[in-house]
C-alpha cells in the first residue's frame, strides 16, 4: 500500500464544518501523484511535496470566518441639547385636538 496515515501528537485542527482531519502521505514519487495531503469527509488539500505545506494549506482553508467590524457607538455628551426641529407637527398632537364621537372633550 502506498498511502499511510500520519499521527500528530498535538492533533490537527477540525475543518470549518467540525469534521476530524487526518494527514495522509502518499509514498509514490511526486511525478506519479504522491505527496502529503490533509483531508476530512467533506474536503481535502491538494498534494504537497512537504508535510508542513499541506498543514499550512489546511489551516488556511479552515481558518475561522472573520466578522465585519462594527462601527463604534457614538458617544453622547452631557452638554449638548437636541431640539426637535421638524417642520411637520407630530402625529400625536393632531389626534389630541379631535373631539370624541359624543361631542365631549377628549
Quick one: average pLDDT of 69-91?
Answer: 72
Does the pLDDT value for residue 51 go beyond 70? yes
Quick one: average pLDDT of 1-11?
Answer: 83
Nearest to 38 by CA among 96, 92, 48: 48
Quick one: average pLDDT of 14-24?
Answer: 88
Phi-psi region of 58 (alpha: psi -120 to 50; beta: other; left: phi over 0): alpha
- The answer to whether residues 28 and 34 touch, using CB atoms and an 8 Å cutoff, is yes
Mean pLDDT for the chain overall = 78
pLDDT per position as a tens digit, 22-50? 999 888 887 887 889 998 988 888 888 88
Domain boundaries, the chain: 3-61
pTM above the 0.85 mark? no
Does the pLDDT value for residue 68 go beyond 60? yes
Amino acid at each position: 500500500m502506498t498511502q499511510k496515515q500520519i499521527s500528530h501528537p498535538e492533533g490537527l485542527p477540525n475543518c470549518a464544518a467540525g469534521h476530524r482531519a487526518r494527514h495522509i502521505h502518499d509514498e509514490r514519487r511526486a511525478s506519479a501523484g504522491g505527496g502529503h495531503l490533509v483531508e476530512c469527509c467533506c474536503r481535502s488539500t491538494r498534494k504537497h511535496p512537504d508535510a508542513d505545506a499541506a498543514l499550512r494549506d489546511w489551516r488556511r482553508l479552515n481558518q475561522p470566518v472573520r466578522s465585519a467590524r462594527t462601527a463604534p457607538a457614538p458617544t453622547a455628551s452631557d452638554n449638548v441639547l437636541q431640539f426637535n426641529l421638524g417642520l411637520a407637527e407630530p402625529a400625536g398632537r393632531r389626534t389630541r385636538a379631535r373631539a370624541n364621537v359624543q361631542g365631549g372633550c377628549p
